[in-house]
Amino acid sequence: MKMFKKIVCVVLDGVGVGEAPDAAAFGDGGSNSLGNTARHVGELRLPSLERLGLGNIISIEGVPPVVSPRAYHGKMTPVAPGKDSTSGHWELMGCVLEQPFPVYDHGFPDEIIEAFETRTGSKVIGNKPASGTVIIEELGADHMRTGDPILYTSQDSVFQIAAHESVIPLSELYRMCETARSILQHPHNVARVIARPFLGEPGGFYRTAGRRDFSLPPSKETILDRLVDNDLPVHVIGKIHDLFAGRGITTHVPTKSNRDGMSAMLDALAGGDRSALVFTNLVDFDTMWGHRNDPRAYALGLEEFDSHLGPLLSAMGDDVLLIITSDHGTDPTTPSTDHSREYVPLLVYYAGAPRDRVRDLGVRTSFADVGKTIADNFGLAAGFPGRSFLGDIV
């Protein structure tokens, strides 16, 4: 079997390819982030992804199936009982959540609020499910007047603290989040505490790039852990460092945008990076466009990613494997502003793949197939869930 020297895994955060079998139980019947976006805008123009075989996975207006796709292709089914970034990324790396993270449809209970206010010395305002951009417009002026942080959640397991950077400096906001993280233990073990800084004036508030996630550490060993434990460096780009609470990671590069993430990946390939795994999250599909129900911007973001994909493919040698996938959906065309329970795409490419053998990898039964394949490549797959597709591509 061919053994790849390096694997590059790219997560297009929030880019699903159709409702999962249990989508209705999550209130997500009919969701299809990629397909619905294409229909909404008329068509997508994604020539690089088209050549790889994206249109062979599902029907996408503007991205037809090709006779000889350059990438192995398929889609993957979520198993973990959640549709958030944490459970999605953990599942990709072999840690499949068995119980859902707690969610708070009516805000956080008194014991959590009292503990947070006592330990931070700050009252909170809000404490309800809300869209992040909506709640800062609703409560931003009160926050600036009182100095009280804005607390909100969503259908996901998140404890989000929003604060104007001129009122609560970033360093203080991060300390508040660390305090919340220490309080939020079982049974209130939310997946992520998120700092949500913003700037501007009433009527014109905008969120800044100072977001930071404070996640629970994975509940089991991950592929990242095993690679690092076996002296195989793991380099992560974007919010992945936060999602894994820094565990199983050798080096990391924070990013402010998808463009930052693509640039960092090219740097890693061009600069002689010696990592066994380069693991990247491109978050804008989710945070900038999916949650804001902006399908036109979502489509433009896909086209921008596609324009950067050509140089990335050109920078890859025969000993580098590229895996493009996602962690959940965030359909920007549905009334919901939250994540959606969807299949995720799977594109697997390497420069030396024989064109006459590239084929459909089918519907995979878990995101964990990605991690299993990565571990299989390095001879470390024992004990992890999922089914490796390494033997299907080499």
Rounded Cα distance, 326 and 337, in Å: 18
**Contact assessment for residue 344 and residue 364, using Cβ atoms and an 8 Å cutoff:** no
Domains located in the chain, CATH noted: 6-97+219-393 (3.40.720.10), 110-215 (3.30.70.1250)
User: Can you say whether residue 348 is alpha, beta or left, with left for phi > 0 and alpha for psi between -120 and 50 degrees?
Assistant: beta
- Whether 125 and 142 have beta carbons less than 8 Å apart is answered as yes
Q: How far is CA 265 from CA 3, 11, 175, 299, 371, in A?
A: 21, 12, 30, 22, 19
- E-strand spans in 13-123? 72-76
pLDDT for 325 equals 98
- CA 278/CA 274 separation, integer angstroms: 10
HSE toward the beta carbon, residue 304, CA cutoff 13 A: 17
Q: What is the DSSP letter of 58?
A: S
For 265, the enclosing helix (H) or strand (E) is helix 258-270
Amino acid occupying residue 317: G
Contacts by residues 198-204 (CB-CB < 8 Å, ≥ 24 positions apart): 198/136, 198/140, 198/162, 198/163, 198/164, 198/165, 199/164, 199/165, 199/166, 202/137, 202/140, 202/141, 202/144, 203/137
Beta-carbon contacts of residue 182 (< 8 Å; ≥ 6 apart): none
The tokens for 324 are 């493009």
Which residues fall within 8 angstroms of residue 205, CB to CB, at 6 or more apart?
A: 136, 137, 140, 164, 198, 199
163-196 tens-digit pLDDT: 999 999 999 999 999 999 999 999 999 999 999 9
Q: What is the pLDDT of residues 268-325, one digit of tens each?
A: 988 777 899 999 999 999 999 999 999 999 999 999 999 999 999 999 988 999 999 9
What pLDDT is attached to residue 272? 73
Residue ranges of alpha helices (H) inside 150-222 are 170-183
Please give the Cα distance from 390 to 394 (Å, whole number): 6
Q: What is the pLDDT of residue 317?
A: 85
Angle at 173 between CA 239 and CA 11, to 5 degrees: 10
**Selection from 341, 355, 333, 262 nearest residue 303 by Cα:** 262
DSSP for residue 288: I
Strand partners, 162: 150, 196
Q: Are 74 and 360 within 8 A, CB to CB?
A: yes
Nearest to 104 by CA among 163, 143, 160, 142: 160
Q: How far apart are CA 163 and CA 153, in angstroms?
A: 14
Which pLDDT does position 1 carry in this prediction? Answer: 53
Beta strands in the chain (DSSP E): 6-12, 72-76, 125-129, 150-153, 158-164, 192-199, 206-207, 212-215, 234-237, 251-253, 277-282, 320-325, 344-349, 360-364
pLDDT at 127: 98
Is residue 302 helix, strand or coil? helix
**What is the rounded (10 degree) CA torsion for 22, 329, 315, 360?**
30
Cα–Cα distance for residue pair 335/129, rounded to 1 Å: 15
Provide the 3-class DSSP secondary structure of residue 372.
helix
Residue 68 tokens, joined: 């000889």
Asked if 264 and 253 touch (Cβ cutoff 8 Å), the reply is: yes
Instruction: Give the per-residue pLDDT at 2.
Output: 59
DSSP 11: E
Fill in the amino acid letter for 76.
Answer: M
10-residue averages of pLDDT along the chain (394 residues): 88 98 96 98 97 98 97 98 95 96 95 98 96 95 97 93 98 98 95 96 94 93 98 97 96 95 93 90 95 96 97 91 98 95 98 89 98 97 97 93
Q: From edge to edge, which strands make up the β-sheet containing 360-364?
A: 251-253, 234-237, 277-282, 6-12, 320-325, 344-349, 72-76, 360-364
